[in-house]
Structure 1
């Protein structure tokens, strides 16, 4: 039997996972981020209802284990506040949510544009990928500093 190794999992050629991975390659990074952001916004709309019905919340694993908040601490709360129209509450929980919301809007616009025009996504240059990597790193460090200050660790 012919297997393709992806991590520790053996997948047959032409299997479902392989088709999904192939389909994902047909979308650009901004388009994927837009779709992921839209899914996160939907989850942020549903999370308060789930919490009210079950009492279940989403704790930060790093903060639960070590007491130190992670750069993403407060993003669930911030996303819930933002989709609920509370910009001040979102900023108090994690200001990085505004950047993620902007990425979602840009990504969905790119997805809609390509849906109307068709064609393959434009690949990013190595320099563009490097710049985005630096921006993500700076935002993550800034978010972490904000969270450490917010929780009194720093």
Structure 2
């Protein structure tokens, strides 16, 4: 069984998120149910992922501005979702080599990058939603 790289897994999640975003408005309209952020619901502070559902739905509908204003992280997820299909196909066909494990330094850099991205997204959400500590 072939293992998938981290970008392939994140891109695969993006593909699933795009599919869900395409049907989500119909589900919420017919059922009346929404998907609130658990952290924001419990303590009133948004999480770094707040707005991703709204952003995904907006992006699937072609409303780039609304997607950006909800959560700009969606564009990175969308880029990986678009890239993962050909990448997996080329690897399955043997055109590209299978993924190699990352070095410990590479994993550390990616961990820092992910942490910085989450922090930036969280600060964006705090600003967007007008949350202040005062």
Same fold judged by TM-score > 0.5?
A: yes
Which residue is 1:136 aligned to? 114
Residues 8 and 80, structure 2, Cα contact 8 Å, conserved in 1 = no
**Is 1:37 matched up with 2:14?**
yes
Q: Which has the larger radius of gyration?
A: 1
* Structure 2 spans left out of the alignment, 5+ residues: none
Aligned length: 131
Q: Considering Cα pairs closer than 8 Å and 6+ residues apart, tell me whether 1 or 2 has the greater RCO.
A: 2
**Is 1:103 matched up with 2:80?**
yes
Which residue is 1:125 aligned to? 103
Alignment RMSD, CA only? 1.6
Residues 34 and 111, structure 1, Cα contact 8 Å, conserved in 2 = no
* Structure 1 spans left out of the alignment, 5+ residues: 1-22
Q: Pick from 146, 150, 153 the counterpart of residue 124 of structure 2.
A: 146
Larger strand fraction of residues? 1
Which residue is 2:47 aligned to? 70
Which sits farther off after the overlay, 95-104 or 137-146? 95-104
**Is 1:27 matched up with 2:4?**
yes
Kindly provide the CA deviation profile for residues 117-149 of structure 1, in whole angstroms up to 9, marking residues without a partner as x. Answer: 176432222222222111111110011001111
TM-score (norm 1): 0.78
User: Distance between the aligned counterparts of 1:112 and 1:124, measured in 2?
Assistant: 21
User: Distance between the aligned counterparts of 1:64 and 1:43, measured in 2?
Assistant: 22
